[in-house]
Chains A and B, each alone.
Chain A
Amino acid sequence: MSAALFGLVLAGGASTRMQRDKAALAYHGRPQLDWAYELLSEVCAATFISVRPDQRNEATRAQFPQIVDRQPGAGPIAGISAALQEHPKAAWLIVACDLPFLTREILQHLVAHRDPQRVATAYRSAHDSLPEPLCAIWEPSAREAVLAHMQSGKQCPRKFLINSNALLLDLPDARALDNVNTVDEFSAANAALKSPVTRASHDLSHKGRDEETNTSSTKTAAPSASLPPVAGEGRGEGAAKRTIALRIQYYALLREQAGRSEETIDTSAGTPTELYRELQARHPFKLGPEQLKVAINAEFSDWNTALRSGDTIVFIPPVAGG
């Protein structure tokens, strides 16, 4: 007998390049998060949304049953893992909140072909034939393996599925899982949804999600030269500005000036020097970097150390023990 199917809309992303909350964008006359939640509710026994701890009370998200990331900063796999741990006996239909072309039929097709003996049932990407982790059913048996994947420092859910026994299905509609990451893509998606004539086109590609979530698949992707680049962004791995998720903890004077003990941010800062400059624009910090020390993952570090996603950073004001 297969496990009960629960639904999860991933809404914990940073929407860095969109510069607006992707969960709140409206393609169907209301926030995409509402729309995706309702779609999942039609095929799942219970439906939740995935959020980072700091997003729990946001207006778009507060009204839904939530599963809070246990390792915020790790990208979508943190949401998948948190759900598998929260209800370990359930299977999870996981869906990203930036899929405007997702339909009830796509979800029903997935559910109908689900194989509960595999760790997952997923679609094969129409662009590169690799598994699509963010519209897939994750079985309870995936829980330990996902945790192990994360504990070994890996965050890419796609690579996880590539190396698993996941059942892969062909997409009934090649464009159904195209995601939207930039304002231009958003406009194009809305235009496409309004005009059925263009529905078959592949104007929206998969560029983007990989950079945003550290789940790069571009190295293994099939050639896709026909895909037009989005203005200002290349498809190549090095061409796009990468962002990383960092946890920042504040103490003493900086804690008071930031008005919080910690926060998780997505940033393009590559070093503590760049990060502090960015934080000075957000918070009324008066101490200059020359007056501070910096710690990365609870160890004193150099200001030019390369930051990595998931790092915890503390800027240390002049100390005064004794």
Chain B
Amino acid sequence: MKPFSFSTTALQVDTYRQALADPAAGGYASFEGWVRNHNEGHEVTRLEYEAFEALAHKEGERIVTEAIARFGVISAVCVHRIGSLGIGELAVWVGVSSRHRAEAFAACRYIIDEVKHRVPIWKKEHYVTGDSGWVNCERCAAHGHEHDRVHEHGHGH
């Protein structure tokens, strides 16, 4: 399976997990990002994910490749949803298999952190009030240079 990919339908975690299996692996760590019902004091009803796929594929693959090289894990995969997602749905999945647990956790953490900061994916929140907004963008535009701090918030992770 590809190191980084998108899915427009519900993520199939069991399938992805099995693809990481390896006789040399002593463990496996995964991370699931879920859609939660609130962000920054607003009640959220659903999220829409959009990606610049041509570049996102390349950047996502670079991140996974970096993690494998950096932590010496056996294999790693990241799958991200795009489209409209309801509360509780799985938005992103990262899985890593390795000889020992420490590097599996570390690689998993590295991949999700880098994906959130580097891969051109955007999410639009739809609020209970009927309003909506692009996460990190609307406040960015209003607050100018404060965006570095604003980038640190996210969904459910």
Contact at A321–B134, with CB atoms within 8 Å?
no
Residue A310 at the chain B interface, CB threshold 8 Å: no
Q: How far is the CA of A41 from the CA of B120 in the complex (A)?
A: 50
B55 contacts A299, CB within 8 Å? yes
Q: Which range contains the number of A residues in contact with the other chain?
A: 20 to 34
CB atoms of A298 and B121 under 8 A apart: no
Asked whether any CB of chain B lies closer than 8 Å to the CB of A162, the reply is: no
Tell me whether B70 is interfacial, beta carbon within 8 Å. Answer: no
Q: How far apart are the CA atoms of A316 and B138 in the complex, in Å?
A: 14
Are A318 and B58 in contact (CB-based, < 8 A)?
A: no
Q: For the complex, would chain B's binding face be called helix, strand, loop or mixed by DSSP majority?
A: mixed
Determine if B52 and A320 form an interchain contact, defined as CB atoms under 8 angstroms apart. Answer: no
User: A232 an interface residue at 8 Å Cβ cutoff?
Assistant: no
Q: Is the CB of A252 within 8 A of B134?
A: yes
Q: With A and B bound together, what is the CA distance between A316 and B154 in angstroms? A: 18
Evaluate contact between B122 and A253: CB separation under 8 angstroms. Answer: yes
Tell me the A283-317 residues at the B interface (CB within 8 Å): 286-288, 290-291, 295, 298-300, 314, 316-317
* Partner-contacting stretch, out of B11-19, B99-107, B111-119: B111-119
- A317 near B122: Cβ-Cβ < 8 Å: yes
* In contact, B116 and A314 (Cβ under 8 angstroms): no
Flag whether B141 is at the interface (Cβ < 8 A).
Answer: yes
B21 in contact (CB, < 8 A): no
User: Which residues in B have their C-beta under 8 angstroms from that of A314?
Assistant: 52, 55, 120
Indicate whether A322 reaches chain B with its CB closer than 8 angstroms: yes
- Contact indicator A291/B140 (Cβ below 8 Å): yes
For A318, list chain B residues within 8 Å (CB): 136-137, 140, 147, 150-151
Q: What chain A residues lie within 8 Å of B136 (beta carbons)?
A: 317-320
Interface check B157, CB cutoff 8 A? yes
Asked if A287 and B137 make an inter-chain contact with CB atoms under 8 angstroms apart, the answer reads yes
Q: A295-B55, A299-B58 are in contact. Are A322 and B155 (CB under 8 A)?
A: yes
Does the CB pair A319–B141 fall under 8 Å? no
Known: A287-B137, A321-B92, A322-B157. A252 touches B115 (CB 8 A): no
Do A319 and B120 form a contact, CB below 8 Å, given A286-B141, A291-B140?
yes
Chain B min CB distance to A206 (Å): 39
**Proximity string of chain B (23-35) to chain A, C-beta cutoff 8 Å, 1 when within and 0 when not:** 0000000000100
Contact for A253 among B58, B116, B134, CB less than 8 A = B134
* B109 beta carbon closer than 8 Å to chain A: no
CA distance A316 to B136 in the complex (A): 12
Cα distance A316–B134 when bound, in Å? Answer: 13
Considering only residues 55-80 of chain B, those with a C-beta below 8 Å from chain A are: 55, 58-59, 80
Q: Are B122 and A251 in contact (CB under 8 A)?
A: yes
Query: In the complex, how many angstroms separate the beta carbon of B146 from the nearest chain A beta carbon?
Result: 10
In angstroms, Cα B55 to Cα A319, docked, is: 13
Within 8 A of A (CB), among B126-157: 134-138, 140-141, 144-145, 147, 150-151, 154-155, 157
Question: Are A251 and B141 in contact (CB-based, < 8 A)?
Answer: no
* Chain A contacts for B38, CB-based, 8 A: none
Complex contact A316–B92 (CB within 8 A): no
- Give the chain B neighbours of A252 by CB distance below 8 A: 50, 122, 124, 134, 137
Which chain A residues lie closer than 8 Å to B46 at the CB level?
none
Q: How far is the CB of A251 from chain B (nearest CB, A)?
A: 5
CB proximity of A250 to chain B, nearest CB, Å:
10
The smallest C-beta distance from B90 to any residue of chain A, in angstroms, reads: 11
Q: List 27 A-B contacts (CB under 8 A).
A: A249-B52, A251-B51, A252-B122, A253-B122, A253-B138, A287-B141, A288-B144, A291-B144, A298-B54, A299-B58, A300-B59, A317-B122, A317-B136, A318-B137, A318-B147, A319-B116, A319-B120, A319-B121, A320-B154, A321-B49, A321-B92, A321-B115, A321-B122, A322-B33, A322-B92, A322-B116, A322-B154
Q: Do A251 and B50 have beta carbons less than 8 Å apart?
A: yes
* Residues of the B chain whose Cβ atoms lie less than 8 Å from the Cβ of A316: 52, 55, 120
